[in-house]
């Protein structure tokens, strides 16, 4: 979108919305203090999900979304499978306990 171009329709829409006080946070960021405050307001008993058990459907959705979870740098850990047993896992751990060190190795 060409938001910075004063002739673009998006620019005009956003400027009008700003004038009408519709989007007060557009182009702004919350300060660290505000972020901390917003975070603490939703902790513990104040959280809308506090004390509510998660149903199986939700758990499955979370589980499905976490499969092949990517770390904050966006690097997927390579998963490997041990040739001596049925175990598979992240390469760094698998190399230590499987492959040449596997207890099922003949």
| Site for Zn ion, rule CB under 5 A | 82, 84-85, 98, 102
Q: Which is nearer to Zn ion, 77 or 84 (CB)?
A: 84
Q: Which is nearer to Zn ion, 14 or 80 (CB)?
A: 80
* CA–CA gap between residue 55 and residue 101 (Å, rounded): 40
Q: Which is nearer to Zn ion, 5 or 88 (CB)?
A: 88
CB-based contact 80:89 (threshold 8 Å): yes
Question: How many CB atoms are closer than 10 A to CB 85?
Answer: 12
Least Å from the CB of residue 98 to Zn ion? 3
Least Å from the CB of residue 84 to Zn ion? 4
Q: In which residue are the tokens 């979304």 written? A: 65
Q: Is the dihedral of CA 40, 44, 46, 47 positive or negative?
A: positive
Least Å from the CB of residue 29 to Zn ion? 48
């Amino acid at each position: 979108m060409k938001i910075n171009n004063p002739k673009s329709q998006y620019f005009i829409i956003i400027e009008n919305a700003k004038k009408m006080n519709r989007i007060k946070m557009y182009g702004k960021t919350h300060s660290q203090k505000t972020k901390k405050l917003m975070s603490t307001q939703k902790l513990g008993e104040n959280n809308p999900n506090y004390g509510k058990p998660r149903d199986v459907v939700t758990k499955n959705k979370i589980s499905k979304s976490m499969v092949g979870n990517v770390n904050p740098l966006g690097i997927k850990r390579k998963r490997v499978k041990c040739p001596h047993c049925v175990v598979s896992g992240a390469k760094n751990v698998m190399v230590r306990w499987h492959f040449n060190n596997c207890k099922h190795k003949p």
